[in-house]
Amino acid sequence: MNAGEPLPKKGEIDRTKLPNTMEGIRFEIARISKYIVDGCKDPLVIFTAQKIAGLALGTARQLGQKVTDKNRELIILKGLHAWGHANFEHISNPPNVEIIKTPARMIRELEIPEEFARAFWDPIRESMAKGKKVGLPKPRITGSSGVSTTLILTLAAAVGFRFLQMKFGGQEGCLHYLWGCVNVGDRWVDVDILMSELGEHPVFEQCELIGIPF
């Protein structure tokens, strides 16, 4: 197992058999770090993150906020969190399988053609709606807390945040939930796009901090 291997290219899938031990968990965490460090350099990721940041700053100004060097980063982080929360759906991994996606692949999940989406949705609509009028749900990025953390920290890195951490929570020696933490000014801000508000995160008996090595 080599966590430092290059990210899979578009259309590629890497499969690695991991032991069901802390060694396997630490390999997964190291691999997520690699996805963040390399993924933030992808042109699609940079374009997306910069677009979100620009819209967040523009929205703040329209709301009467004065954008300064002191609050600029926090406004951008709030925008990244809001976008991530609105576009991500938590779906658990299969038993004994850990899925990590490249950040660019996640963003492309939002670009599914309508005809393709309808091929999946029509039988679901017919069964669930029972004749009621419902609209085609917009595409969303799906995955576990590891996938959501990879996405938000990569977007943050793509707009210049460099002091990033992952927090790994659990209980009774089992760590199973991941979220991010970003340094803004002189403080660390928890970032979990599975939560509705920036700064929110689940509370666990145990929590381990893992720095992202830029």
DSSP string, 125-159: HHHHHTT---PPPPP-EEE-HHHHHHHHHHHHHHT
Q: What is the DSSP letter of 181?
A: E
- Residue 125 resides in a domain: yes
- Residue 207 resides in a domain: yes
pLDDT of residue 130: 87
Tokens standing for 150? 């990879």
Domain count across the chain: 1
**What are the strands of the beta sheet with 187-191, ordered from one edge?**
187-191, 174-184, 164-171, 206-211
- Residue 189 resides in a domain: yes
- Residue 7 resides in a domain: no
Domain that holds residue 26: 22-211
Q: How far apart are CA 199 and CA 191, in angstroms?
A: 6
pLDDT lower than 70: segments of the chain? 1-3, 12-13, 15, 17-22, 24
- Residue 10 resides in a domain: no
pLDDT of residue 2: 64
pLDDT of residue 44: 97
- Residue 5 resides in a domain: no
pLDDT of residue 3: 63
- Residue 165 resides in a domain: yes
pLDDT digits (tens, 9 = 90+) for 49-104: 999 999 999 999 999 999 999 999 999 999 999 999 999 999 998 887 888 899 99
CA-based radius of gyration for the chain: 18
Cα dihedral sign, 73-76-80-81: positive
pLDDT of residue 128: 94
- Residue 8 resides in a domain: no
Q: Where residue 33 sits, what CATH number does that domain have?
A: 3.10.620
CB 84 within 8 A of CB 179: no
